[in-house]
Amino acid sequence: MSPNQSSERPSMGKQGAVDELLQRVAQDFETLPRQLQNIASYLERERANIMVQRINEIAEGCDVHPSAVVRFAQRFGYSGFTEMQAVFRSDYTETVKPVRSYQQRIRNVIAEGEGAIVGTSQMALRFIDASRAGLEELANRFDTKQFDAAVDLLVKAENIYVVAVRRTFGIASYIVYALQHTHKRVHLVSGLGGMYREQIRSIGKNDVLIAISYPPYGKETIYCSRVAHQHKAKVLAITDSALGALGRDANITLMVSEGSAFAFRALTSTICLCQALFVALAYKLELKVEETIPPGEYDD
């Protein structure tokens, strides 16, 4: 074992072994060479697919040579890629890797689904099952410490900014709507008229930015996150990876792995997490209000 190689290794087949591995990877991330950082980010982002991918596929996805994937595995105590892959295989089931083009995804469904799908109602049931699986994954991976810390961050915030683009924009709109039912000052960074720069420029050190994004990460969301850091504000990221472009630099990261059907990913788990975040915040704010009201104030 080389001096740079990790001396510990999660037990294969052990419940939570993937999480243990990725936690150790996160701790060492900044010291890893750039190629190994690419692999680390890919493994967390595609954790549900690693068990069915060949080493060449992973290398291509990371834009590295397959030997770099082997070096990564050895860096964290495995004999090679196959032994590391067995950890992912023991904990997760196969999911469909997304395709970039929506039109191409539909064509793939038609090409691959002959005889397997009776009708559109069966497609709907597949989506429901995928959403249910995503919610189960959210519950299994739920980090209570990170969630509690996220709520505390929002409680202390003077202003709450929210940014998300494209498919997650609806989530941002919802959480802004919900948060406006509290006394907090809430701002939707919508980019209307291309004014992301102007809408985020006044964020300050006592404020929080809620940034929501999944690969391929929205460049507008990443930009707003960087501005928030520059202005000493806190960033609460809702994303799929603590090692990705959004989660890596966030103060707090709430991770979500959405279920998918026919290579289309749901948003069920994300909206559920955001609703829980709002309810928890409203609850804590109400408790604070009650603590400041003298006894008998509520009496008629």
Cα–Cα distance between 89 and 44 in angstroms, integer? 14
pLDDT grade for 262, boundaries at 50, 70 and 90:
low
pLDDT grade for 295, boundaries at 50, 70 and 90:
low
H helices of the chain, in order, are 17-28, 34-45, 55-62, 66-75, 81-91, 102-112, 120-140, 144-156, 169-179, 196-200, 219-230, 268-292
- Look at residues 113, 219, 209, 222 and name the one whose alpha carbon lies nearest to residue 161: 209
Q: Is the pLDDT of residue 258 over 90?
A: no
Query: What's the pLDDT tens digit per position in 45-65?
Result: 777 678 778 898 889 888 899
Has this prediction a pTM greater than 0.75?
no
pLDDT grade for 15, boundaries at 50, 70 and 90:
very low
What angle, rounded to 10 degrees, do the helices at 34-45 and 17-28 form? 150
Query: What's the pLDDT tens digit per position in 215-246?
Result: 778 889 999 999 999 999 999 999 887 777 78
Task: Give the pLDDT mean for 74-91.
Answer: 87
| Structure-token pair, residue 251 | 């103060």
CB neighbourhood size of 146 (10 A): 15
Strand partners, 72: none
Query: What's the pLDDT tens digit per position in 108-158?
Result: 555 555 445 556 777 777 778 777 887 888 888 888 999 999 999 999 999
pLDDT of residue 130: 78
pLDDT grade for 95, boundaries at 50, 70 and 90:
very low
Higher model confidence: residue 241 or residue 178?
178
